[in-house]
Structure 1
Amino acid sequence: MRLRPLALLSTVAVSAVVLAGCAGSPEGAETPSPTSSAAAECLVDAKPGAGSDAITVTGEGLDAKIEVPEGTEFDGVQRTILKKGDGDEVHAGDFISIRYQVVEADTNTVVETSERGADGVLPMLLDPANAQRQIVDSTQSPVFIAAAECAPLGSEMVLALPGQEGQGAIVVYMQTLEELPTTASGDDVDAPADMATVKLAKDGAPEVSIPGDDAPAETVIGVLKQGDGPKVGEGDLVTVQYLGVKWSDGTEFDSSWSREAVPSQFQTTGVVTGFRKALEGQQVGSQVLVEIPPAEGYGASEGHELEKETLVFVVDILGTTPLLTAPAE
């Protein structure tokens, strides 16, 4: 199997400049929120060049035809804005929807698109923390920060990335579409009986009250808000807000809300079994309450601080993206 060009080049050609842009942050600093002064800076600040300016785009969206003239060379990471939108400037930490195509520059062959999303639209969390971790997956890649940042929402652009590590140069054509909600947008439904109770602050942050009953012996899932978006599939990359507390004393052990309310993004296969069960099959826009006994939490992780704890999560499901499988040789 081989990595797709975007997955490989994004970590090689763009990560260095993303990391350089973040190098001045204090050690251990949290991911900036969309309104923080740190998020308002351009992490990559890619400029137009002769290479990106030479690219022609006919049409738009998934129907657009992207052509790179033969012999075009890209001197570093270059970005040309084809059309400026009329929305607010996009910055790292924002949660937006996009359409994109990825094209091999030497053949003008389309190698990846956003078509696996509804109507070719994908939710994208421009998360600088993920960029710094250099996750080899296009949906969390720093390439999307480089393409979208510091341009008005609704813009259309091309990002040119030079060849690296035995791969040819590529072009990312992107449209930024709209800002997405960062709390569950679904309709309220009756709270499930015999489960923990949840109260929401004005900003949507949850507060959990643990009942006086014994902890559940099996994972229990309840829906607090019913969304009407796409269903989370097995292994999808999800974007969520969440709060996790211990059943034993109600204290928080993890929360996106405690990180300036910046959503988190991860694969469903990267969390404990009970959390995964609470995500897969649910619709985007939903808010889910789940109680997870140690057997489907951290019970098998000997020495883990939560090994013997029953966990309670409140999860706002904001977006989901089916991941691409790397093609076989």
Structure 2
Amino acid sequence: MRTRPLITLSTVAAATLLLAGCSGTPAPEATSTETPAAEASCILDLTSDAASDAVSVEGSGADAKITVPAGTEITEAKRTVLSEGSGVEVKPGDLVSLRYQLVDAVTNEVLSTSERGEDGVLPALLPAEQPQQAMVDPTQSPAFTVAAECLPVGSSVVLTMPGSEDGSQHASVLYVETIDELPLTASGKAVAATEGMPEVELDDEGAPTITIPDGDAPTETKVAVLKEGDGPVVASGDLVTVQYRGVKWSDGSEFDSSWSRGAPSQFQTTQVVTGFKTALEGQKVGSQVVVEMPPADAYGASEGHELQKESLVFVVDILATTPLEQPAQ
């Protein structure tokens, strides 16, 4: 498993990692960025120091006011636990809901927050707030992972992160409140099957079995909702957390699956094949969809790819979505 120490992160890098995943991680060629399965131990389990202990937090959630006293020297990543919750212990590989604020440690300016509008986007200064969903995954969300790991759900912490070595970027402080552990399968309400689409059956763990219908392979991409969620809407370019299984139309054999790897996957909607992108964008978190696509919307343009001439079918559970950019405040 590949990790990245937080002590090397600048304020800008930290903000980017929080919302966009680990910089330097190659974009998924098609539909998967592997997410490590839950680990039995912590990754860093950071302790506190004088700098992290000096940070004050008044209030909670979007109303919290985080203050870093003038002159506080942040030279390494440290974590101060403000309060311990009473829920289950958060481990790498878990999916949690949380609230957070990222502030500049010199100016106390809020750089990023979990504040979201009712439609799931991140408009500036709207009063509506929905918790952020985050995969506790060191390759995609290292700051969230190190802030939340090995503490009970319901805990609140501050995480200090040093600035750039050349001084061009200030140190930063991340304040995180974990709220709940989230399911690793779609939690929406089941809806009636769409006639003509591949049939889907779920086992006791929620893993899908896909049956290809009789008839010709698809000539256009079609998406059908199997479960209707009520969470934030997936927008173009979002970082999504999903469970999925993909099979070939030609023989029904599996070629890719987060279920087979034992953990959900995360990737940006714009970094996957067109048919998969179409299946995700506009759907709500908590939904499960089935999508069929011709080669043109899959790997048709990838000369020599083993799936170049294949029509594909995916069943996707949409577990979380994270917008990658926030408007200027």
Structure 1 length-normalised TM: 0.84
Aligned ranges for residues 1-329 of structure 1 at < 5 Å? 6-9=11-14, 31-34=35-38, 39-116=39-116, 119-128=129-138, 131=139, 140-165=140-165, 166-260=168-262, 262-324=263-325
Structure 2 residue identity aligned to 1:8: A
Structure 1 residue identity aligned to 2:316: V
Change (3 A) 1:308 1:186: same
Q: Is the 8 A contact 1:186 1:285 kept in 2?
A: yes
**Comparing 164-173 and 48-57, the one that deviates more:** 164-173
Task: Give the secondary-structure state (helix, strand or coil) at the position aligned to 2:213.
Answer: coil
Q: Is the 8 A contact 1:116 1:322 kept in 2?
A: no
Separation in 1 of the partners of 2:326 and 2:103? 17
Task: Give the secondary-structure state (helix, strand or coil) at the position aligned to 1:98.
Answer: strand
Structure showing greater relative contact order (alpha-carbon pairs closer than 8 Å, 6 or more residues apart): 2
Change (3 A) 1:228 1:48: same
Q: Is the 8 A contact 2:239 2:267 kept in 1?
A: yes
Equivalent position of 1:24 in the other structure? none
Separation in 1 of the partners of 2:217 and 2:282? 25
Separation in 2 of the partners of 1:141 and 1:238? 12
Task: Give the secondary-structure state (helix, strand or coil) at the position aligned to 1:291.
Answer: strand
Separation in 1 of the partners of 2:102 and 2:59? 15
Change (3 A) 1:292 1:6: farther
Structure 2 residue identity aligned to 1:151: L
Structure 1 residue identity aligned to 2:209: E
Q: Is the 8 A contact 1:11 1:142 kept in 2?
A: no
String of CA shifts for 1:128-159, please: whole Å, max 9, x gaps.
Answer: 3xx2xxxxxxxx33111111111111001000
Separation in 1 of the partners of 2:117 and 2:155? 19
Change (3 A) 1:6 1:74: closer
Q: 1:40: how far off?
A: 2.4
Separation in 1 of the partners of 2:78 and 2:303? 48
String of CA shifts for 1:83-112, please: whole Å, max 9, x gaps.
Answer: 100011111101001111111111111111
Separation in 2 of the partners of 1:296 and 1:305? 15
Change (3 A) 1:9 1:198: closer
Separation in 2 of the partners of 1:243 and 1:115? 32
Structure 2 residue identity aligned to 1:269: T
Structure 2 residue identity aligned to 1:315: V
Task: Give the secondary-structure state (helix, strand or coil) at the position aligned to 1:258.
Answer: helix
Separation in 1 of the partners of 2:116 and 2:246? 31
Separation in 1 of the partners of 2:36 and 2:273? 26
Separation in 2 of the partners of 1:277 and 1:93? 26
Separation in 2 of the partners of 1:197 and 1:291? 11
Q: 1:32: how far off?
A: 4.1
Change (3 A) 1:326 1:8: farther
Separation in 1 of the partners of 2:48 and 2:117? 29
**Comparing 163-172 and 249-258, the one that deviates more:** 163-172
Q: 1:11: how far off?
A: 8.5
Q: Is the 8 A contact 1:49 1:75 kept in 2?
A: no
Query: Aligned pairs, how many?
Result: 292
Q: Is the 8 A contact 1:292 1:312 kept in 2?
A: yes
Change (3 A) 1:53 1:318: same
Q: 1:186: how far off?
A: 1.4
String of CA shifts for 1:296-318, please: whole Å, max 9, x gaps.
Answer: 11101111111100000001111
Structure 2 length-normalised TM: 0.84
Q: Percent identity?
A: 59
Structure 2 residue identity aligned to 1:155: S
Q: Is the 8 A contact 2:247 2:313 kept in 1?
A: yes
Structure 2 residue identity aligned to 1:93: G
Separation in 1 of the partners of 2:306 and 2:286? 31
Q: 1:9: how far off?
A: 3.9
Q: 1:283: how far off?
A: 1.6
**Comparing 59-68 and 287-296, the one that deviates more:** 59-68
Equivalent position of 1:136 in the other structure? none
Q: 1:325: how far off?
A: 5.3
Q: Is the 8 A contact 1:240 1:317 kept in 2?
A: yes
String of CA shifts for 1:173-220, please: whole Å, max 9, x gaps.
Answer: 110110111111111111111121111110000011112211011111
